[in-house]
Amino acid sequence: MNLDPDMSPESEEFEHLLGLHTIVEYIGAEREVIAHASALEPILLEAVRVCGATYIDHRVNQFVPYGASGVVLIAESHISFHSWPEHCYMAMDLFTCNLSMDASGAVQYVADRIGAERFESRVLKRGF
């Protein structure tokens, strides 16, 4: 199981660095976990706590026959996800304007909870 992503921000330089956008591809996830919004919702809400973000609100949607999408609004920005259980794949974005927030902790927590065989991630600097 390879769960050792490169979480360092890419090398763009900005006069005004306003946020970090972590993009994650979870591969080989447990189909039964990522198929259901009811299973993913508590995982994403706990990921907010794990990374030290401030929860505002959330919305998840269950697709028929399976798969889910959702967004968690945080004071620092948002976490969003979409799952493709037929491919054992889930995508997640975590965008934050708090540059010291522990996004990598949330990324690892989600990987562990959905049983991902591996994940790939990159961090984009946002700003101008």
Catalytic-role residue among 21, 78, 97, 104? 97
- 97 noted as active-site residue: yes
Task: Tell how strand 77-84 and strand 118-127 pair up.
Answer: unpaired
- 82 noted as active-site residue: yes
- 11 noted as active-site residue: no
Dihedral sign from CA coordinates of 21, 76, 49, 101: positive
Which DSSP helix (H) or strand (E) runs through 125? strand 118-127
Place of tokens 């994650």: 24
Catalytic-role residue among 21, 36, 58, 82? 82
Catalytic-role residue among 51, 77, 83, 88? 77
Segments in 7-82 forming alpha helices (H):
31-34, 37-51
The residues annotated as belonging to the active site are 77, 82, 97
